[in-house]
């Protein structure tokens, strides 16, 4: 059986956390896709459909024109799980009654189990309470025929219900969020137990499938060019494609001069020497630094870097003899079409990629072997491919690199100063064993000089800000609560060892309202 042989369809009604449902289902070893309720494509008809999950959403079933699932969903003979708004759709579409309510319920709640349901296997038994995260405005007043209550809370008498013979289940709470501590068990019960998926979606299986798919797409003669950034996605994509087509892959690494200390060397050593991948290394740092001279506006920095990157990449690719395909490390969150709060389809393509114009310019077909994966799956795939831990576990690093960590004008001297401080900071993080707990950490060199005293002398140097956040996807983030002794030790080292910095501050802004980067 292949990794994709069975699948769960998640119908999206626009909840903020629909992606989390997909992640939990994948963690249960089952492939799943998210499709907007009004653009299901072949979601209901393609082979392998084992179950359907209806997501939450911002609408109320009482609103005129509020979204519904296609009625066919309930006629296919596959189990269906409705979550929150999805549960309300299930109720109204199957002949029950649900309506908007003025009493909304948000936050932690306890559901008393009313049955030993297969949905709650390994969770609280009948009569016991289960902690859950509620977030709903609608209320069920009458269950559809054939349904029974399997869980209730004081505010939500129909918190969970089921039609066991048809495999239809509804929960008013969100099993996909961490605030429902055993929510992952519930989703696992649905996809593995109730929907009967074998759970063969592993990265080992995916790897073989992806290699076969690359070979088929590229053909026996096709050549692929792949930009390496030193980040996880492009590294994993490159190694995977190399396993598929060997020497017909050429990688291009453009050193923008905006990389961290030692990173450029690491990339070259790893791919050329360890993996024996054909690699063109362009040290274009002078070109980039000169072009950025005097530029202060962050967006102009981004655009300048993006434009130059495409020029350099294109030139290197052409010199190497060209290729038929351009590889990109696009991930699943970038391709999911999400539903907007108004119910209309809105294609959200998060494009932080500063090289977004590359495919148009290069006029090549794309090879995107990571298109169906989440970031954490890419890391596991990287491990499967034998990439070392320090590569697969890497913090994200923005395309414009250090350029957006030096607010104001960029100079070679400032870049060197920042690199030295950042190196010490990351070294201390690793020594303290914190690297993997933190989602992203970096130093910022501020365009502010302050007075200090060192030995008997006065100093007048730059301020360095340290940033560290926890996050799951970079969309929201909390600052990392370092112990004071860690901050003290790191600040001391930076001030003592780096010329040009005499003061260190720690950024305790979360996102929102801040962003992770300073620019």
> Which range touches ligand XMP (CB under 6 A), out of 119-127, 184-192, 351-359, 425-433?
351-359
The DSSP code for 272 is I
Q: Interface with ligand XMP by CB under 6 A: which range of 88-96, 262-270, 483-491, 509-517?
A: 509-517
* Closest separation in Å from C-beta 398 to ligand XMP: 3
Concatenated DSSP letters for 420-474?
Answer: HHHHHHHHHHHHTT-TTT-SEEEEEEEEEEEEEEETTEEEEEEEEEEEEEE-SSS
Q: Is 82 helix (H, G, I), strand (E, B) or coil?
A: strand
Backbone angles phi, psi at 64, to 5 degrees: -65, 135
Is position 333 an interface residue for ligand XMP (rule: CB under 6 A)?
A: no
Does position 379 bind ligand XMP by CB under 6 A? no
Position 175 contacts ligand XMP (CB under 6 A)? no
Report the residue count for the chain: 519
Going by DSSP bridges, is the β-strand pair 129-142/440-454 parallel, antiparallel, or unpaired? unpaired
Least Å from the CB of residue 393 to ligand XMP: 15
Q: Which is nearer to ligand XMP, 338 or 354 (CB)?
A: 354
The structure tokens listed for 78 are 């596959």
Are 92 and 61 within 8 A, CB to CB?
yes
- Can you name the residues that pair with 81 across neighbouring β-strands? 53, 169
**Contact string (CB under 6 A) for ligand XMP, positions 455-484, x = contact:** -------------------x----------
Decide whether 354 or 417 has the Cβ nearer to ligand XMP: 354
Q: How far apart are CA 357 and CA 355, in angstroms?
A: 5
Selecting among 6, 32, 84, 197, the annotated active-site residue is 84
Helix, strand, coil % over all residues of the chain, rounded to 5: 35, 25, 40
State which residue, 377 or 519, has the beta carbon closest to ligand XMP: 519
The helix or strand, by DSSP H or E, that contains position 490, with its residue range, turns out to be helix 484-497
Nearer to ligand XMP, 104 or 423 (CB): 423
Q: Is the bond preceding residue 231 a cis peptide, omega within 30 degrees?
A: no
Given 352, 361, 409, 412, the residue binding ligand XMP (CB under 6 A): 352
3-class DSSP state for residue 491? helix
The question of whether 142 is a catalytic residue gets the answer: no
Question: Which lies closer to ligand XMP via its Cβ, residue 35 or residue 302?
Answer: 302
Does 401 bind ligand XMP (CB under 6 A)? Our answer is no
Taking phi over 0 as left and psi of -120 to 50 as alpha, with beta for the rest, 343 belongs to left
CB of 511 to ligand XMP, least distance (A): 5
Span interacting with ligand XMP, options 89-97, 212-220, 262-270, 348-356, rule CB under 6 A: 348-356
Residue closer to ligand XMP by CB (options 185, 354) is 354
118 versus 514: smaller Cβ distance to ligand XMP: 514
Contact 501, 494 (CB under 8 A): yes
Residue range at the interface with ligand XMP (CB under 6 A); choices 263-271, 325-333, 456-464, 508-516: 508-516
CA-CA-CA-CA torsion sign (443, 445, 448, 452): positive
114: tokens are 């009313």
Edge to edge, the sheet with strand 249-255 lists 278-283, 249-255, 224-228, 325-327, 365-367
Question: Quick check: 430 binds ligand XMP (CB under 6 A)?
Answer: no
**Of these, 186, 284, 400, 465, which contacts ligand XMP (CB under 6 A)?**
400
Instruction: Kindly state whether residue 29 participates in binding ligand XMP, applying the rule CB under 6 A.
Output: no
Binder of ligand XMP out of 179, 272, 307, 511 (CB under 6 A): 511
Q: Which of residues 245-304 bind ligand XMP (CB under 6 A)?
A: 302
Based on the residue annotation, tell me whether 176 is a catalytic residue of this protein. yes
Among 188, 440, 490, 502, which residue interacts with ligand XMP (rule: CB under 6 A)? 440
43 near ligand XMP (CB under 6 A)? no
235-243, 338-346, 349-357, 416-424 -> range binding ligand XMP (CB under 6 A): 349-357
Residue with tokens 């655009």: 303
Q: By C-beta, is 209 or 478 nearer to ligand XMP?
A: 478
Kindly state whether residue 396 participates in binding ligand XMP, applying the rule CB under 6 A: yes
Q: Rounded CA gap, 18 and 12, in Å?
A: 7
- Token readout for 312 is 């350099």
**Which position among 12, 206, 399, 467 is part of the footprint of ligand XMP (CB under 6 A)?**
399
Burial class (CB in 10 A: 0-12, 13-18, 19+), 512: exposed
Q: What are the Cα distances from residue 29, in Å, to 12, 35, 192, 203, 494?
A: 21, 19, 9, 9, 45
Catalytic amino acids?
84, 174, 176
Give me the residues that bind ligand XMP (CB under 6 A), please: 302, 352-354, 396, 398-400, 440, 474, 511, 515-517
């Amino acid at each position: 059986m292949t990794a994709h042989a069975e699948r769960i369809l998640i119908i999206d009604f626009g909840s903020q956390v629909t992606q989390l449902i997909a992640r939990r289902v994948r963690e249960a070893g089952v492939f799943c896709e998210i499709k907007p309720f009004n653009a299901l494509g072949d979601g209901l008809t393609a082979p392998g459909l084992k179950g359907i999950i209806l997501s939450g959403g911002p609408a109320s079933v009482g609103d005129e024109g509020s979204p519904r699932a296609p009625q066919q969903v309930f006629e296919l003979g596959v189990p269906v799980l409705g979550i929150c708004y999805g549960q309300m759709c299930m109720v109204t579409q199957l002949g029950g009654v649900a309506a908007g309510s003025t009493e909304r319920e948000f936050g932690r709640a306890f559901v008393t189990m009313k049955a030993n349901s297969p949905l709650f296997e390994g969770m609280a038994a009948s009569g016991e309470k289960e902690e859950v995260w509620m977030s709903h405005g609608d209320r069920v007043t009458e269950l559809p025929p054939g349904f029974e209550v399997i869980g209730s809370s004081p505010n939500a008498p129909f918190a969970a219900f089921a039609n066991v013979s048809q495999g239809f289940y509804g929960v008013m709470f969100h099993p996909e969020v961490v605030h429902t501590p055993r929510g992952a068990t519930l989703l696992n019960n649905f996809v593995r137990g109730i929907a009967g998926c074998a759970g063969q979606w592993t990265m080992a299986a995916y790897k073989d499938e992806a290699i076969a798919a690359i070979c088929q797409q590229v053909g026996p003669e096709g050549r692929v060019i792949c930009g390496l950034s030193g980040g996880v996605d492009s590294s994993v994509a490159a190694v995977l494609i190399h396993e598929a087509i060997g020497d017909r892959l050429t990688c291009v690494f453009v050193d923008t001069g905006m990389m961290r200390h030692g990173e450029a060397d690491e990339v070259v050593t790893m791919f050329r020497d360890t993996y024996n991948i054909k690699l063109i290394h362009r040290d274009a740092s002078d070109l980039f630094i000169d072009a950025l001279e005097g530029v202060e506006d962050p967006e102009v920095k981004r655009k300048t870097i993006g434009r130059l990157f495409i020029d350099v990449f294109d030139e290197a690719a052409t010199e190497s003899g060209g290729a038929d395909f351009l590889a990109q490390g696009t991930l699943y969150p970038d391709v999911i079409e999400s539903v907007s709060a108004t119910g209309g389809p809105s294609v959200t393509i998060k494009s932080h990629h500063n090289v977004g114009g590359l495919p148009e310019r290069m006029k090549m077909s794309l090879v995107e072997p990571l298109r169906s994966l989440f970031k954490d799956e890419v890391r596991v795939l990287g491990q499967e491919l034998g990439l070392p831990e320090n590569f697969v576990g890497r913090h994200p690093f923005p395309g414009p690199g250090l350029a957006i960590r030096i607010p104001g004008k960029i100079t070679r001297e400032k870049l060197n100063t920042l690199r030295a401080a950042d190196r010490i900071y990351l070294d201390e993080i690793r020594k303290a064993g914190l690297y993997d707990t933190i989602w992203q950490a970096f130093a910022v060199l501020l365009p502010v000089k302050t007075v200090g005293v060192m030995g008997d002398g006065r100093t007048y140097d730059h301020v360095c800000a340290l940033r560290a956040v926890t996050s799951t996807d970079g969309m929201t983030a909390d600052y990392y609560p370092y112990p004071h002794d860690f901050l003290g030790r790191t600040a001391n080292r930076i001030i003592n060892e780096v010329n040009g910095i005499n003061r260190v501050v720690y950024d305790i802004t979360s996102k929102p309202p801040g962003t992770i980067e300073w620019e």
